[in-house]
């Protein structure tokens, strides 16, 4: 191994070992406490403060597509993709502002630790529970595949190891610390990883700004290469209706993403929520601009490169010294790891909490030791399944991730939002909405059908809303005694 490779790998190994050490410490703390295992493992005993809450929402949302795939598309399409990425800025504000307080109050009333717990209590429907758990698993696995591939490609490009070796190293660390640490480990590591993301993005941005001779010079050089790269619609590559439809996909419809909405159940108090809304909005906006501008600024610095999803590691290898490369790579690694660990915990909860305990456990009394073992093993098995599915990687992670986002939003947006704010909402509406939304989204995406040049999520969401309203008026009203928990 060359000295340069060793200098690159050493900070990465130290970073990964720190994540494992945190999981070990949290596990020891959990064993010494008298906390309820299910609430601790899946919800961290509802103890998140403002900073941790903000960072864990950011880290679970900012993923391989934001740190790797997104900048690569900005390199190919130009400034229009940077504008599009900025739509994601109000993620934390929307999630916590619209769902936060109400979901937190309701989840405490019903002792719920998952979004499916909330849906079960609100709609009292086995179809909603089972469909929700299965849809969560399917789309989370798709999204985790994108994250695993991103992490492996990152290690492959930077260290020179082959893709499979990078995948094994990356998956091993993430699966172990998530499986054994649970939600509290995920929240703490997410907070650390959020800080690492910010530092890493700033370092590379400043380096490219310096090498490119300032933003004015960079823009001038890009204009000489292709002036369409400076247009909001990228010279027709990003039609205005398509751009506007992203306000649905990565804007309003994020209220239907279980990985972010579940955070609304785990914060400590109202002050924590309000602080997180401010911190989260500021940090997401900053990260989206900086990471995607890195891709845009790379256009004149690496002209004509066939970058695919390897732009960020290629640029960092070219313009940073080896030690800084190793430190910088912690940024995208953090983005990827923090998304995977959240999804692994929620996918595990879908099987253990939402399916096994509800439908397959013979005993109504919870055996904590047994549930602890089942939860840990389930998380490990899901991680291994995703690992094997990631061995043959497709290209352009951002599109896989956006497909998974769309599927989750089409499934959950209406049942979550209408259930919180519309008394008439009932199980018939929820079932019809989930099925019509996800089927229409998958069909439109598979057939590549667009309606007025919008992203497929727009007609899928409209269809799910229509069916929710029709179903709610056709179905029976929910009992008033039950609605008292929600209104």
Structural domain contains residue 125: yes
pLDDT band at 398 (very low <50, low <70, confident <90, very high): low
Bridge partners of residue 267, in order along the sequence: 48
Alpha carbon distance 8, 330 (integer Å):
11
Q: Is 112 helix (H, G, I), strand (E, B) or coil?
A: coil
Of 205, 236, 247, the closest CA to residue 84 belongs to 247
Average pLDDT value for residue range 264-272: 82
Distance (Å, rounded) from C-alpha 49 to C-alpha 280? 13
Alpha carbons 466 and 476: distance in angstroms, whole number = 17
Please state the rounded mean pLDDT for residues 154-172.
Answer: 80
The answer as to whether 218 is a domain residue is yes
Vertex 259 angle, CA 84 and 333, to 5° = 70
pTM of the model: 0.82
Question: Which DSSP letter does residue 477 get?
Answer: P
Please say if the pLDDT value at position 466 is more than 80. yes
Q: What is the mean pLDDT of residues 400-418?
A: 89
In a domain, 435, yes or no: no
Q: With pLDDT > 90 as the criterion, what percentage of the chain qualifies?
A: 25
Tens of pLDDT along 303-324? Answer: 877 766 678 788 888 888 777 7
User: Average pLDDT of 412-420?
Assistant: 94
Q: Tell me, yes or no, whether 279 lies in a domain.
A: yes
Contact yes or no for 271/104 (Cβ under 8 A): no
The beta strand positions in 304-376, using DSSP E, are: none
Give residue 225's pLDDT band: very low, low, confident or very high (50, 70, 90).
very high
Residues in the chain: 487
- Reported as a single tens digit per residue, the pLDDT across 422-448 is 999 999 999 999 999 999 999 999 888
Find the mean pLDDT for residues 444-473: 92
State residue 373's pLDDT score. 82
Distance between CA atoms of residues 300 and 209, nearest Å: 12
Structure tokens at 426: 């009932």
Residue 39 neighbours by CB distance under 10 Å = 16
Residue 445 counted as domain residue: no
Q: Is the pLDDT of residue 171 over 70?
A: yes
Q: How many CB atoms lie within 10 A of CB 153?
A: 26
Q: Which residues of 113-127 are buried (b: 16+ CB within 10 A; e: fewer)?
A: bbbbbbbbbbbebee
Report CA 388 to chain centroid distance, whole Å: 21
pLDDT, averaged across the chain: 83
Residue 147 domain-assigned (yes or no):
yes
pLDDT band at 149 (very low <50, low <70, confident <90, very high): confident
> Per-residue pLDDT averaged across 286-307, rounded?
87
Give pLDDT, residue 34: 59
Q: How far apart are CA 165 and CA 409, in angstroms?
A: 34
CA–CA distances in Å: residue 133 to residues 118, 304, 309: 12, 44, 31
CATH number of the domain to which 189 belongs = 1.20.1730.10
Asked if residue 37 is part of any domain, the answer here is: yes
CA 427 to chain CA centroid, Å, is 27
Residue listed under structure tokens 């990356």: 170
Domain that holds residue 158: 3-398
For residue 48, list its beta bridge partners: 267
Residues 6 or more apart whose Cβ sits within 8 Å of residue 112: 106, 118, 121, 265
Looking at the 3D structure of the chain, how many domains does it have? 1
Of the chain, the end-to-end C-alpha distance in Å amounts to: 63
The answer to whether residue 472 is domain-embedded is: no
Rounded CA-CA distance 237/230 in Å is 12
């Amino acid at each position: 191994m060359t000295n340069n490779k060793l200098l690159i790998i050493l900070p990465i190994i130290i970073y990964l070992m720190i994540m494992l050490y945190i999981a070990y410490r949290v596990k020891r703390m959990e064993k010494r406490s008298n906390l309820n295992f299910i609430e601790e493992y899946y919800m961290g005993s509802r103890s998140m403060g403002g900073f941790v809450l903000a960072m864990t929402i950011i880290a679970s949302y900012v993923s391989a597509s934001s740190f790797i795939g997104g900048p690569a598309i900005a390199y190919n399409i130009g400034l229009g993709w940077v504008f599009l990425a900025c739509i994601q800025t109000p993620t934390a504000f929307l999630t916590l502002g619209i769902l936060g307080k109400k979901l937190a109050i309701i989840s405490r009333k019903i002792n719920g630790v998952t979004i499916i717990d909330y849906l079960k209590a609100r709609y009292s429907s086995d179809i909603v529970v089972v469909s929700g758990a299965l849809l969560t698993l399917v789309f989370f696995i798709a999204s985790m595949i994108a994250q695993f591939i991103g992490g492996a490609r990152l290690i492959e490009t930077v260290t020179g190891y082959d893709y499979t070796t990078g995948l094994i190293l990356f998956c091993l660390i993430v699966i172990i610390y998530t499986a054994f640490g649970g939600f509290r480990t995920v929240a703490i590591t997410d907070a650390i990883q959020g800080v690492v993301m910010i530092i890493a993005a700033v370092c590379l941005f400043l380096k490219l700004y310096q090498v490119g001779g300032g933003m004015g010079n960079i823009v001038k050089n890009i204009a000489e290469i292709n002036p369409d790269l400076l247009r909001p619609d990228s010279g027709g590559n990003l039609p205005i209706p398509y751009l506007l439809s992203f306000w649905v996909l990565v804007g309003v419809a994020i209220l239907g993403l279980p990985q972010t909405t579940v955070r609304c159940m785990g914060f400590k108090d109202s002050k924590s929520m309000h602080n997180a809304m401010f911190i989260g909005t500021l940090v997401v906006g900053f990260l989206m601009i900086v990471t995607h501008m890195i891709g845009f600024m790379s256009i004149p610095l690496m002209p004509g490169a066939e970058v695919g999803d390897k732009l960020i590691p290629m640029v960092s290898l070219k313009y940073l010294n080896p030690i800084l490369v190793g430190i910088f790579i912690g940024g995208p690694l953090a983005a990827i790891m923090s998304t995977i660990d959240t999804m692994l915990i929620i996918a595990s909860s879908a099987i253990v909490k939402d399916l096994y305990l509800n439908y397959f456990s013979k005993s109504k009394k919870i055996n904590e030791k047994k549930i602890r073992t089942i939860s840990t093993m389930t998380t490990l098995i899901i991680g291994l399944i995703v690992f094997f599915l990631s061995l043959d990687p497709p290209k352009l992670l951002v599109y896989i991730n956006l497909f998974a986002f769309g599927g989750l939003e089409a499934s959950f947006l209406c049942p979550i939002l209408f259930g919180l704010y519309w008394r008439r909402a009932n199980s018939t509406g929820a079932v019809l909405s989930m099925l019509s939304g996800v089927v229409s989204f998958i069909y439109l995406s598979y057939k590549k059908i667009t309606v007025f040049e919008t992203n497929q999520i727009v007609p899928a969401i409209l269809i799910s809303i229509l069916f929710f309203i029709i179903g709610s008026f056709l179905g029976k009203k929910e009992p008033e005694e039950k609605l008292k928990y929600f209104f």
